[in-house]
Amino acid sequence: MSDDGHEQTGRERVPGRQRRRFAGISSRAYEHPADRSALVALRKLSGFDTVFKALSGLLPERSLRLLFLSDSVRVSERQFSHLHDMLLDACYILDLEKVPPMYVNQDPTPNAMCIGMDEPIIVVTTGLVELLDEEEMRAVVGHEVGHALSGHAVYRTILLFLTTLALKVAWIPLGNLAIMALVAALREWFRKSELSADRAGLLVGQDLRASMRGLMKIAGGNHLHEMNVDAFLEQAEEYEAGGDLRDSVLKILNVLPRSHPFTTVRAAELKKWAGSRDHQRIMDGHYPRRDEDKDARVGDSFRESAASYASDVKTSKDPLMKLVTDIAGGAGDLGGRVRRGFNGFASPAPPKGSATGGAGGADTPPQDED
């Protein structure tokens, strides 16, 4: 029991407080560069949204709406009123005029999603509601409202539909191969979109500790007294830096079938963004506005995305990314690494005593720097 008589169950009771509102904020303010560039490119393609929405007759959206209406609990003033208040609050902070319907679905697995072709629907599971405290849940609701504001729901719905379709046509080799190629591309985008939505959740909750607690609970369950944020973030650093090139390839293979990035990685990315100048500018009221979206240039978005990727590769501790940096930078010992690994492709040795073949040069193995 705590000092105030409440049983300690992993939930923290935090008094209500004023949060900053971001009137007219554009989703470009918080979108991860890779997510934003992909969405801007898709939206700028003539007729792309029209074609995708034309698929709505094939997609089970009406069926999904009826399913949740008939077999889940709709959040309102009379049902899950605390979630209803959080939803209204999140829409107010991100200035989303139309509040999406929200449902609680009986499922012990902690999860939440924002789906819908014409209008977004937010669904949270009972496992998630029971796992998180008020401030942690507020960040999750903000996360899903961020998906709605960014227009992610339509693509998420298509991903769910194609994943189901792939299972039904698995017996058709070429058909399944084509569908899985689309699923893989959508999953890669969706993993980036999750990083964007995490940022939206932080803008709504405005409590980095609560966001971190929520991610830790999703990874390790309702045992906060057994977990530590710093140690959790150290896991992300160890994951990124550990191993050799074989581990780098295994990391890629491990993440391919996932719709979400790994939890430790999400926590590290969110903490990094929370300490960035971009986040501080938003909190100070300086951010892109929705009425400026029509003037956004595709080229600018791609340049920002390219710069972000370049920075990530340059600063990454992953062995594969280090090798990419070496190749791009023309590392002096790269030729030696290749010759040692692929002797059959080595060039003839230079004449003895030449400028490039000094004494001992070929016999002294280059030293890797930390």
Question: Can you tell me the mean pLDDT for 172-181?
Answer: 57
Catalytic option among 134, 136, 144, 194: 144
Q: Which of 88, 92, 94 is CA-nearest to residue 102?
A: 88
Number of other residues whose CB lies within 10 A of the CB of residue 17: 8
136 is catalytic: no
CB proximity list for 195: less than 8 A, separation 6 or greater: 32, 35, 261, 266, 269, 270
Helix (H) / strand (E) containing 115: strand 112-115
Instruction: Tell me which of 58-62, 236-240, 257-261, 298-302 is least confident.
Output: 298-302
Are 64 and 114 a contacting pair, CB within 8 Å?
Answer: no
What's this model's pTM, rounded to 2 decimal places?
0.71
Number of other residues whose CB lies within 10 A of the CB of residue 102: 26
What pLDDT shows up at residue 251? 44
Which of 13-17, 117-121, 134-138 is the most confident on average?
134-138
- Mean residue pLDDT of the chain comes to 73
Question: Can you tell me the mean pLDDT for 56-64?
Answer: 62
Cα–Cα distance, 239 to 247 (Å, whole number): 10
Task: Give the rounded percent of residues in the chain with a pLDDT score beyond 70.
Answer: 56
What pLDDT shows up at residue 37? 67
Cα–Cα distance, 339 to 158 (Å, whole number): 47
* pLDDT tens readout for residues 338-361: 444 444 333 444 444 444 444 344
What pLDDT shows up at residue 274? 96
Order of strands, edge to edge, in the sheet holding 102-105?
73-74, 102-105, 121-125, 112-115
What pLDDT shows up at residue 257? 53
